[in-house]
């Protein structure tokens, strides 16, 4: 596999709420390789957005990074801990090294500012001459299959939801970052619009070779776009590995449960199951494995001892935090054979 | 054939906005049989909710006929009309918006039972509420009755709104994006519950969604209607519509949607449309509304003649596409599909 460009170690993030401290991300470690797409999946509230907001250090005021390191490797090979950058250094890091596309971000933008002005502002903040920025932008708008001249001079409200999302993707690539973070970029858009966003993303990725941290609660989108998948539950990564491993040989009871709740068009009549209960309170999380209360595979030790995230026997690139992973895998094989 | 619970015949619906008349539904023909599952799918703004509201009588058709068990609503006496309003219910997308935050779950369920005099005593009221909560799997009911909506999860709230529609023992429920806002992991539980309620009480369910995989799962033993710009373009048994789609628009949707299976989804070959632009309702293209985007478009046919929903050689479903009806477009069979 290609070299690691981002290495996150033991990252914990919490929010201060009236009832106490919400442990939204606990002790998360993962690596991102050059050119790969890593997708985070998991139920609402499991910490996907918080993790990624922490990576770009734009948490809301009540949120704080409690611990961890985040080593980023620049193109020249120099390594920096993003959490140690001062404000100004960090601002420069954003956009030029790491940018983001959030769902509906253009909706919240100032409607009287043209796309061109957004592009000029971003470029100016990083000392890029106007003319260079314009050329770059027109080129990128073309790449995301938009009419460059028309879109460059338009206001956000003149564009459809799908067009806006593609404009955002183009702007995020303006300074050629190595990493793009995308939080639910296709949620709430129509099927054909989603298709064109996904196609454009895949094309750009092939051409420009950036890495993507992709957040989605939609397993189908993750299956299509990701090289690797990380399953999150209650603020932790409980399983991480290549997309085929996660979908065809899941080792965590929670990943299996998620897959077992996802309908497939190609599957004919299906027997699906939802996950009983609901995710735990992140202020007072349960002891042991946080999933044990909802888990069909739980044994006595799951109630008391949190299982560490460690490589599986037959695939070193596939990590899982589940003591019953062999039984989970066997159950998956049975489902597949049906 | 039994008399349909509701039948739309050539239904049109317009709205006036900024002094412009917007045709939201055009020539919609649909019926719902007792105990049937009918799923309406299509992209945002194609008229699914409007159709659902016409089915339950919350909206009137601008033109065309709406027959309730064989007769127009106006042919029923006033007392009968009140009963019809109870028989046809709708569950909305956002359970938070539709449940009064100031009332406990017990109160929320009591109101319709008392208003329609469906219980005779306090003991019966209590028993009925317990029964309703059990039906929607909110057990034990004792843990729920005294709670307020904000103290429940999204999935639990949606179960409460379903329980509320069940208070009046409807014969038909329109579930409008009823699980779109609840988490993927618990959606299936709510859908299974709806299936069970249908089996037990013989209700019909009109299920509205923009999620094709969910539609396929929920309506596998029922029918799917695909809508585009205010018209039903394909209608038939779910395994056929999903496995051998007839209309080019349905094919485009099915080929475009990602699948929760890496190999299958990466092998798909999405259809390249002639245009990505969705026409506005105020400027619907002449002839077939899909023709400016359709890769199978036939000049001087599709841009001139409006196709009507009808049978087509080689298909079990009805389709509104002239080339398909004339046998110029063969069935597309997705070798992945299990249909
Ligand atoms: N500003 C905040 N203050 C307090 N708690 C918060 C705040 N933002 C998020 N949380 C909590 O932190 C946890 C993680 O939330 P986060 O938004 O990261 O989840 P997510 O996985 O992105 O969910 P979704 O799929 O719904 O977007 C949740 O329990 C949430 O309630
Ligand atoms: N009361 C109204 N006044 C004006 N226009 C309306 C009204 N209700 C609906 N419309 C318009 O009618 C069209 C169809 O709306 P409808 O809500 O039926 O679509 P839908 O298929 O349910 O869409 P969605 O998937 O977004 O819920 C839309 O363009 C909508 O803006
Ligand atoms: Mg989120
Ligand atoms: Mg709607």
What is the per-residue pLDDT across A198-256, written as a single tens digit (0 to 9) for each? 999 999 999 999 999 999 989 999 999 999 999 999 999 999 999 999 999 999 999 99
* Whole-number Cα distances in Å, A281 to A47, A58, A284: 12, 24, 6
Residues of chain A in contact with residue B212, where contact means CB-CB under 8 angstroms, are 191, 265
Domain end among B228, B259, B290: B228
Q: What's residue A21's pLDDT?
A: 94
Residues of chain B in contact with residue A250, where contact means CB-CB under 8 angstroms, are none
Do B170 and B280 share a domain, yes or no?
A: no
Q: What's residue B228's pLDDT?
A: 97
Strand B37-41 to B6-17 pairing: unpaired
Do B205 and B253 share a domain, yes or no?
A: no
Residue A172: closest CA among A71, A58, A94: A94
- Residues from A contacting B (CB-CB < 8 Å) are 43-44, 145, 160, 162, 190-196, 198-199, 217-221, 223-225, 243-244, 247-248, 257-259, 261-270, 272-276, 278
| Count of residues making up chain A | 338
Do B293 and B210 share a domain, yes or no?
A: no
DSSP letters spanning B238-268: HHHHHHS--SHHHHHHHHHS--SSHHHHHH-
Contact B188, A274 (CB under 8 A): yes
Q: Is the alpha carbon torsion for B53, B227, B278, B288 positive or negative? A: negative
B277: closest CA of chain A, how far (Å): 9
Q: Degrees (nearest 5) of the Cα angle A72, A75, A76?
A: 105
Q: What's residue B335's pLDDT?
A: 44
H or E element, residue A10: strand A4-17
CA–CA distance, A101 with A86 (Å, rounded to integer): 23
Helices A115-125 + A161-172 axis angle, to 10: 20
Pocket probe mutation, ligand 2, options B18, B21, B23, B24, max atoms within 8 Å of Cβ? B24
B100 class by beta-carbon count within 10 Å (0-12 exposed, 13-18 middle, 19+ buried):
exposed
Do B88 and B133 share a domain, yes or no?
A: yes
Domain end among B198, B228, B258: B228
A132 Cα to the center of ligand 3, angstroms: 35
Query: What's the Rg (C-alpha) of chain B?
Result: 21
Q: What is the mean pLDDT of residues B239-246?
A: 95
Q: Which two tokens stand for residue B267?
A: 């092998």
Searching chain B, which residue's CA lies closest to the CA of residue A276? Answer: B186
Residue matched to tokens 């069940």: B166
First and final CA of chain A: distance in angstroms?
Answer: 34
B276 domain residue, yes or no: yes
B123: closest CA of chain A, how far (Å): 30
Residue to test with chain B: of A262, A263, A332, most B Cβ within 10 A:
A263
Mean of all residue pLDDT scores within chain A: 92
**pLDDT level of residue B155 (50, 70, 90 thresholds):** confident
Residue B43: closest CA among B191, B296, B212: B212
B1 domain residue, yes or no: no
**pLDDT level of residue B339 (50, 70, 90 thresholds):** very low
DSSP letters spanning A26-53: EEEEEEEETT-EEEEE-STTSSHHHHHH
B118 domain residue, yes or no: yes
Q: Which two tokens stand for residue B95?
A: 């359970």
Q: Which range has the worst mean pLDDT, A278-282, B57-61, B108-112?
A: A278-282
Domain at B129, CATH number:
3.40.50.300
Would you say residue A59 has pLDDT above 60? yes
H or E element, residue B190: helix B184-201
Do B152 and B19 share a domain, yes or no?
A: yes
The number of beta carbons lying within 10 Å of the beta carbon of residue A162 is 21
Would you say residue B275 has pLDDT above 90? no
CA–CA distance, B28 with B7 (Å, rounded to integer): 10
Domain end among B228, B263, B290: B228
Query: Which phi and psi (to 5°) does residue A11 adopt?
Result: -80, 125
Residue B25: closest CA among B36, B17, B37, B15: B15
Searching chain B, which residue's CA lies closest to the CA of residue A221? Answer: B258
Most confident of A15-19, A115-119, A275-279, B205-209: B205-209
Do B221 and B113 share a domain, yes or no?
A: yes
Do B219 and B307 share a domain, yes or no?
A: no
Do B224 and B290 share a domain, yes or no?
A: no
Q: What is the mean pLDDT of residues A170-187?
A: 91
CA–CA distance, A173 with A159 (Å, rounded to integer): 19
B44 Cα to the center of ligand 4, angstroms: 7
Share of residues in chain A with pLDDT > 70 (%): 96
Q: What's residue A193's pLDDT?
A: 87
Do B256 and B222 share a domain, yes or no?
A: no
B233 domain residue, yes or no: no
A338 against A157, higher pLDDT: A157
Residue to test with chain A: of B262, B263, B275, B332, most A Cβ within 10 A:
B262
Share of residues in chain B with pLDDT > 70 (%): 96
B235 domain residue, yes or no: no
| Count of residues making up chain B | 339
Residue A179: closest CA among A271, A281, A56, A294: A56
Q: What's residue A106's pLDDT?
A: 58
Do B219 and B254 share a domain, yes or no?
A: no
B14 class by beta-carbon count within 10 Å (0-12 exposed, 13-18 middle, 19+ buried):
middle
- Residues near ligand 2 (Cβ within 6 A): B 15, 17, 22, 24, 42, 44-50, 210, 281
Can you give the residue range of the structural domain that contains B291?
Answer: 244-338
Would you say residue A38 has pLDDT above 90? yes
Residues of chain A in contact with residue B256, where contact means CB-CB under 8 angstroms, are 191-192, 194-195
3-class secondary structure, B26:
strand
Which residues neighbour B275 within 8 Å (Cβ) at sequence distance 6 or greater? B292, B293
Do B217 and B77 share a domain, yes or no?
A: yes
Q: What is the mean pLDDT of residues A124-135?
A: 92
Q: Which two tokens stand for residue B307?
A: 């196709």
B264: left (phi over 0), alpha (psi -120 to 50) or beta: alpha
Question: How many domains is chain B partitioned into structurally?
Answer: 2
Residue A46 CA: nearest ligand 1 atom is 21
Would you say residue B334 has pLDDT above 50? no
Q: Do A265 and B187 touch (CB under 8 A)?
A: no
Q: What's residue B337's pLDDT?
A: 41
A111 against B237, higher pLDDT: B237
Q: Which ligand is closest in space to the CA of residue A25?
A: 1
Residues of chain A in contact with residue B339, where contact means CB-CB under 8 angstroms, are 268
Cα–chain center distance at A271: 29
Q: What is the mean pLDDT of residues B63-83?
A: 95
Q: What is the mean pLDDT of residues B32-57?
A: 96
* ipTM of the complex, rounded to two decimals: 0.91
Q: Which two tokens stand for residue A277?
A: 């209960």
The number of beta carbons lying within 10 Å of the beta carbon of residue B305 is 12
Helices A130-143 + A191-208 axis angle, to 10: 120
Would you say residue A29 has pLDDT above 60? yes
Would you say residue B336 has pLDDT above 60? no
Q: What's residue B146's pLDDT?
A: 94
Residue B315: closest CA among B305, B302, B330: B330
Write down the pTM of the prediction: 0.92
Q: What is the mean pLDDT of residues B103-121?
A: 94
Pocket probe mutation, ligand 1, options A15, A20, A285, max atoms within 8 Å of Cβ? A15
- Whose alpha carbon is nearest atom 5 of ligand 1? A15
Q: Which range has the worst mean pLDDT, A34-38, A182-186, B11-15, B295-299?
A: A182-186
Query: Which phi and psi (to 5°) does residue B95 adopt?
Result: -65, -20
Do B107 and B255 share a domain, yes or no?
A: no
Which long-range contacts does B71-75 make (Cβ < 8 Å, 24+ apart)?
A: none
- Whose alpha carbon is nearest atom 6 of ligand 1? A15
pLDDT, one tens digit per residue, over A140-176 is 999 888 899 999 999 988 887 788 888 989 999 999 9
Residue B36: closest CA among B221, B256, B272: B221
């Amino acid at each position: 596999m290609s070299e690691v460009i981002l290495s996150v170690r033991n990252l914990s993030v919490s929010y201060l709420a009236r009832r106490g401290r919400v442990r939204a991300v606990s002790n998360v470690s993962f690596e991102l390789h050059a050119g790969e797409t890593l997708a985070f999946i998991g139920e609402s509230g499991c910490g996907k957005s918080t993790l990624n907001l922490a990576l770009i250090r734009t948490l809301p005021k009540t949120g704080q990074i409690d611990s961890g390191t985040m080593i980023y490797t620049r193109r020249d090979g120099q390594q920096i801990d993003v959490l140690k950058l001062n404000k100004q250094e960090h601002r420069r890091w954003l956009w030029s090294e790491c940018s983001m596309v959030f769902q509906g971000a253009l909706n919240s933008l100032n409607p009287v500012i043209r796309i061109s002005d957004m592009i000029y502002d971003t470029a100016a903040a990083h000392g890029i001459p106007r003319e260079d920025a314009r050329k770059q932008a027109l080129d990128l708008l073309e790449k995301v299959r938009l009419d460059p001249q028309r879109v460059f001079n338009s206001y956000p409200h003149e564009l459809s939801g799908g067009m806006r999302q593609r404009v955002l993707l183009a702007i995020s690539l303006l300074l050629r970052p190595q990493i793009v973070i995308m939080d639910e970029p296709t949620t709430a858009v129509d099927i054909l619009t989603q298709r064109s966003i996904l196609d454009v993303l895949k094309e750009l990725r092939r051409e420009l070779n950036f890495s993507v941290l992709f957040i989605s609660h939609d397993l189908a989108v993750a299956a299509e776009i990701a090289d690797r998948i990380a399953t999150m539950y209650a603020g932790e990564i409980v399983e991480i590995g290549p997309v085929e491993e996660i979908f065809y040989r899941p080792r965590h009871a929670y990943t299996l449960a998620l897959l077992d709740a996802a309908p497939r068009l190609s599957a004919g009549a299906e027997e699906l199951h939802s996950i009983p209960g609901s995710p735990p309170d992140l202020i007072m999380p349960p002891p042991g494995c946080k999933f044990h209360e909802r888990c069909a595979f739980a044994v006595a030790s799951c109630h008391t001892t949190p299982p560490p995230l460690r490589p599986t026997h037959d695939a070193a690139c596939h990590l899982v935090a589940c003591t019953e992973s062999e039984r989970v895998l066997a159950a998956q094989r049975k489902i597949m054979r049906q | 054939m039994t008399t349909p619970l509701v039948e739309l015949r050539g239904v049109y619906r317009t709205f006036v906005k900024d002094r412009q008349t917007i045709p939201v539904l055009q020539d919609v023909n649909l019926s719902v049989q007792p105990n049937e599952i009918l799923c309406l799918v299509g992209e945002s703004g194609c008229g699914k909710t409007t159709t659902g509201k016409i089915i339950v009588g919350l909206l009137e058709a601008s033109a065309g006929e709406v027959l309730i068990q064989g007769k127009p609503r106006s042919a029923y006496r006033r007392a009968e009309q009140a009963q019809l309003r109870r028989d046809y219910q709708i569950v909305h997308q956002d359970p938070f918006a539709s449940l009064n935050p100031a009332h406990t779950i017990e109160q929320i369920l009591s109101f319709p039972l008392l208003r329609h005099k469906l219980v005779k005593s306090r003991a019966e009221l209590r028993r009925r509420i317990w029964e309703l909560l059990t039906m929607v799997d909110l057990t034990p009911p004792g843990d729920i009755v005294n709670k307020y909506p904000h103290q429940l999860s999204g999935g639990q709230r949606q179960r409460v709104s379903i329980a509320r529609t069940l208070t009046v023992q409807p014969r038909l429920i329109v579930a409008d994006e009823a699980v779109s806002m609840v988490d993927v992991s618990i959606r299936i539980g709510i859908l299974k519950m709806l299936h069970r309620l249908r089996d037990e009480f013989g209700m019909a369910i009109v299920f509205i969604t923009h999620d094709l995989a969910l539609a396929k799962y929920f309506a596998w033993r029922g029918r799917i209607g695909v809508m585009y710009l205010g018209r039903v373009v394909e209608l038939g048994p779910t395994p056929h519509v999903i496995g051998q789609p007839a209309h080019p628009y349905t094919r485009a949707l099915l080929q475009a949607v990602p699948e929760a299976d890496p190999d299958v989804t990466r092998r798909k070959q999405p259809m390249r449309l002639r245009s990505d632009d969705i026409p506005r309702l105020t400027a619907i293209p002449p002839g077939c509304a899909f023709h400016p985007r359709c890769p199978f478009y036939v000049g001087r046919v599709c841009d001139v003649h409006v196709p009507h929903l009808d049978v087509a050689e080689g298909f079990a479903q009805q389709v509104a596409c002239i080339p398909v009806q004339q046998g110029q477009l063969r069935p597309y069979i997705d070798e992945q599909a299990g249909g």
